[in-house]
Chains A and B, each alone.
Chain A
């Protein structure tokens, strides 16, 4: 009897210890506050939605801060370079990886410690977003390759070449009915991507692997001429359109093709009768392959600034936000495409309208990932805009583009030993 009582008491004590331990693990970060920074978009919306769940799991409050893309780069670099530690986690666009890497925490020790399964992340995406110079400074949380959206009732067969594409846009344009072959974002910071897609798929590049400017090429000229021709089959307002206007024009049934980041509007609202007049009449497809089939990649990775005092908690947020469960939830609620291989292997994704994006994710690239990339990108966008709006001829445009590349690399030289593995 005495023995049984002793055993029972020990069991109760043991249970109590276990409960205390799990309780303290759940509330390990009780009273702590995490500040996370995202681009103003579905990524920030998703973060706000799951913040409560994160608090339940860890006890920490999460403040989600977001800024539009046009100001996010400035905000992030200023915060990082001045070591304010204002943000514990920041969402970094992959083209800023190299620029921000010196200010970010290397995540390899955390990945190793917690056995984070990075093998589930699409290899090309991890190479383009989050990895820099052999180290991992960010975990990709969203990605999308630049693809076409098109009207399935008007386009029976997606064009295989750029010439076929232009010809089809011309054929489908009916200005008397205010219907155009293509809807495009014409503002220079968006339009530049459309020029790059054409340039890269035609076999062109900004620079060679040793950073020598290679933009003065037949491919550049061909891509520019194509871009200029494309505007003949777009709404005249397109030259001042941003992404939302061009996507909306497509959703309102005013264009046969739409060149826009599909997850920023089309995949979410395409089949929503409240926002779309083309319900069930659209699909996505890769751009014409031409010589390389390379398209532009948009990918974002979550990183931890070196200056933050909440590194462990920040890492918990990164694991939480990029978990398989949340990534599936984000797709369902916000049409955010996950960089996880397991996400794309799900039967419902393989048969969905975004299935065609998967192959492109294996080859899509961002432009450069250096400090020089912002200046080069903006400068090329200005030059392309000059040509397309008739302010400059082809040769002076190409000359300006070359000067832009050379000047950008001179002002912000690539770090020693880093080669141009993109274009």
Chain B
């Protein structure tokens, strides 16, 4: 019996080994190297400078770095706002197109288009649409009597624009995930509620929403982490401007690493980013697990 157990364990590890090796090569080793790098002073474009150990200097530097602080605040606001809109609109859309009629299936297929567009392509398209002189959005606005709006030139509007583009791209995905949750709701409960005279709003609030809550929590977590990683849309639409209005953390880390070639500082920023995101994810997962344990 013991031999069988040992055999099983060995085979399990054998099957896991390729994945572990792959992760080690592509994730763990680069991560450890970045961590090591963050304690040194290394500039890729200055080969005559010998890298030297600087301890926590790179980490301390972050707190005095105005652009880092601003990009972090921007990223948090962007993530929270985007995700709230994505989930709200995603649920509304899901409720509207969750049926099985031909029309609803066609709408679902059409709505997939933003989702499957590359973020760079979406950002470029929207940049052209929102150009205040030649963009279609302002053209249509002027036709109905609105003034021309400087979407990407005004700091607040530029921020709103990048949120709109992000939400536009992600809402279809959220809707699709929520639809799968809606289809899992037993129809008997809904019919009983209808028979008892419950209004549609009451049915949604008291039956549907609690039923899809676990899915929404997962969607929130995934989207929140993804929103923090926004890069392509910002890069092509605004470049972080005007000023620092739309400067996001990933763009800032990119600048440090691949424009200024300050590999050590970029590594420190990236490690801090990973640590914070891991903490947020852990908090979420712990809260979810505790709630599930309570329900049981």
Segment from B95-103, B206-214, B257-265, B267-275 that makes contact with A: B257-265
Segment from B14-22, B235-243, B284-292 that makes contact with A: B235-243
B181 interface residue (CB < 8 Å to A):
no
Q: Which residues on the A side are within 8 Å of B43 (C-beta)?
A: 371, 411-412
A389 interface residue (CB < 8 Å to B):
yes
B150-190: which residues lie under 8 A (CB-CB) from chain A? 150-155, 158
A-B CB contact pairs (8 Å), 25 listed: A73-B259, A74-B258, A74-B259, A77-B45, A81-B45, A81-B47, A188-B239, A188-B243, A240-B150, A240-B152, A249-B133, A379-B67, A382-B241, A385-B241, A386-B244, A389-B155, A389-B241, A389-B242, A389-B243, A391-B243, A408-B260, A411-B260, A411-B265, A412-B45, A412-B46
Contact call B131/A391, Cβ cutoff below 8 A: no
Q: Which residues on the A side are within 8 Å of B66 (C-beta)?
A: 400, 403
CB distance from A203 to the nearest CB of B (A): 26
When C-beta atoms are compared, the residue in chain A nearest to B235 turns out to be A70
Q: Which residues on the A side are within 8 Å of B131 (C-beta)?
A: 237, 240, 245
Q: How far is the CA of A391 from the CA of B48 in the complex (A)?
A: 39
Interface centre among A77, A385, A408, by most B CB within 10 Å? A385
Known: A81-B47, A99-B45, A240-B152. 19 other contacts (CB 8 A): A70-B239, A78-B44, A78-B258, A100-B45, A188-B241, A239-B242, A240-B151, A240-B238, A371-B45, A375-B259, A382-B243, A382-B244, A385-B242, A386-B244, A389-B154, A390-B155, A391-B245, A392-B243, A412-B262
A235 interface residue (CB < 8 Å to B):
yes
Given the known interface contacts A186-B242, A371-B261, A382-B240, the answer about A81 and B132 at a Cβ–Cβ threshold of 8 Å is no
Contact call B242/A236, Cβ cutoff below 8 A: no
Given the known interface contacts A385-B241, A389-B155, A390-B155, the answer about A237 and B150 at a Cβ–Cβ threshold of 8 Å is yes
Per the CB 8 Å criterion, the residue count for chain A at the interface is: 45
Q: Which residues on the B side are within 8 Å of A411 (C-beta)?
A: 43, 260, 262, 265
When C-beta atoms are compared, the residue in chain A nearest to B254 turns out to be A74
Contact call B242/A240, Cβ cutoff below 8 A: yes
A311 interface residue (CB < 8 Å to B):
no
Q: Which residues on the A side are within 8 Å of B240 (C-beta)?
A: 188, 382
Q: How far is the CA of A415 from the CA of B261 in the complex (A)?
A: 16
CB distance from B180 to the nearest CB of A (A): 39
Q: How far is the CA of A78 from the CA of B261 in the complex (A)?
A: 9
B229 interface residue (CB < 8 Å to A):
no
Contact call B45/A240, Cβ cutoff below 8 A: no
CB distance from A292 to the nearest CB of B (A): 28
Per the CB 8 Å criterion, the residue count for chain B at the interface is: 37
Q: Which residues on the B side are within 8 Å of A100 (C-beta)?
A: 45
CB distance from B271 to the nearest CB of A (A): 18
Question: Which residues of B approach A to under 8 Å, CB–CB?
Answer: 43-49, 65-67, 131-133, 148, 150-155, 158, 238-245, 247, 255, 258-262, 265
Q: How far is the CA of A188 from the CA of B244 in the complex (A)?
A: 10
Q: Which residues on the B side are within 8 Å of A77 (C-beta)?
A: 44-45, 261
Interface of chain A, main secondary structure: helix
Contact call A102/B260, Cβ cutoff below 8 A: no
A74-95: which residues lie under 8 A (CB-CB) from chain B? 74, 77-78, 81
Contact call B150/A386, Cβ cutoff below 8 A: no
A422 interface residue (CB < 8 Å to B):
no
Q: Which residues on the A side are within 8 Å of B47 (C-beta)?
A: 81, 102-103
Contact call A102/B48, Cβ cutoff below 8 A: yes
Given the known interface contacts A77-B261, A238-B153, A403-B66, the answer about A385 and B45 at a Cβ–Cβ threshold of 8 Å is no
Q: How far is the CA of A408 from the CA of B260 in the complex (A)?
A: 9
Q: Mark A396-416, 1 if CB is under 8 A from B, else 0.
A: 000010010001100111010
Q: How far is the CA of A186 from the CA of B132 in the complex (A)?
A: 13
A361-386: which residues lie under 8 A (CB-CB) from chain B? 371, 374-375, 378-379, 382-383, 385-386
Q: Which residues on the B side are within 8 Å of A386 (C-beta)?
A: 243-244
Contact call A374/B133, Cβ cutoff below 8 A: no
Q: Which residues on the B side are within 8 Å of A412 (C-beta)?
A: 43, 45-46, 260, 262
